[in-house]
Amino acid sequence: MKLICGLGNPGREYERHRHNIGFMVVDALLARARAELTQDKFQARVGQGTLGGERILFVEPQTFMNLSGRSVAEAARFYKVAVQDVLVIHDELDLPFARLQLKAGGGAGGHNGLKSLVSSLGEDAFIRVRVGIGKPEGPNAKERVAGYVLSNFDDGERRQLEELISRAADMAESWVRDGLTTAMNRHNRKA
């Protein structure tokens, strides 16, 4: 079994925010797996399905971003999923909008959801689908980051969003079916 987690914040007011791209990609994967998030446990919405011939536990933490790791770590321990079999889909400020990267391990880079995951899992070896959302530019850009990630995509980005979500889901599905190295070779070059 593998665990696929999308990072985001619970609640309708956050639904279409940049910070919730992880939830959006998991929702696309659920449709592909003909699965639903039918349970509320581990402080998360959880469901199971099959993707690429593999049993998948889908997790959307409901703890808010900064505590996401608790849900993922609890679910992984309960189902005995190794950290290397955990895939986390998250927004990435350090990639331009619509750029994707699949990678194993690495630091948190200031992302509070990733910090929580590393802390709760006890290591950073989980797999990541980094979904580029770009970052604010100009004076005081650093001070504007929180407002930026907690805002909706602009009109131009929204026109590309469905394709971006589909490509990120392809990347995750390829990881399940083909393994990390093959999926990275196939998708990171295209990104």
Closest CA to 88 of 64, 118, 63: 118
Report the distance separating Cα 167 and Cα 47, nearest Å. 22
> Under 8 Å CB-to-CB from 41, ≥6 apart: which residues?
75
Taking only the tens place, the pLDDT of each residue in 145-163 is: 989 999 999 999 999 999 9
CATH number for 166: 3.40.50.1470
Q: Count of domains in the chain?
A: 1
Answer yes or no: are the C-beta atoms of 109 and 145 closer than 8 Å. no
* β 86-92/2-6 pair status: parallel
Collapsing DSSP to helix, strand or coil, 69 comes out as helix
Strands (E) across 7-52 are located at 39-41, 44-51
Answer yes or no: are the C-beta atoms of 143 and 136 closer than 8 Å. no
Taking only the tens place, the pLDDT of each residue in 14-33 is: 999 999 999 999 999 999 99
Q: List active site positions.
A: 19
Taking only the tens place, the pLDDT of each residue in 45-55 is: 999 999 999 99
Full residue range of the structural domain in which residue 24 is found: 2-188
Residue ranges of the binding site for tRNA: 14, 64, 66, 112
> What's the whole-number mean pLDDT along residues 116-120?
97
> Under 8 Å CB-to-CB from 189, ≥6 apart: which residues?
none
Q: How many CA atoms lie within 13 A of 107 on its CB side?
A: 3
Counting residues of the chain whose pLDDT is more than 90, the rounded percentage is 90
Answer yes or no: are the C-beta atoms of 8 and 27 closer than 8 Å. no
Q: Kindly report the average pLDDT of the chain as a whole number.
A: 95
pLDDT at residue 191 above 60?
A: no
How much is the pLDDT for 53? 92
Taking only the tens place, the pLDDT of each residue in 68-109 is: 999 999 999 999 999 999 999 999 999 999 999 999 999 888
Collapsing DSSP to helix, strand or coil, 125 comes out as coil
Strands (E) across 74-188 are located at 86-92, 100-104, 127-132
How much is the pLDDT for 65? 94
Report the distance separating Cα 175 and Cα 103, nearest Å. 10
How much is the pLDDT for 190? 59
Enter the tokens of residue 63: 């703890």
Question: What is the arrangement of strands in the sheet containing 127-132, beginning at the earlier edge strand?
Answer: 39-41, 44-51, 54-61, 2-6, 86-92, 127-132, 100-104
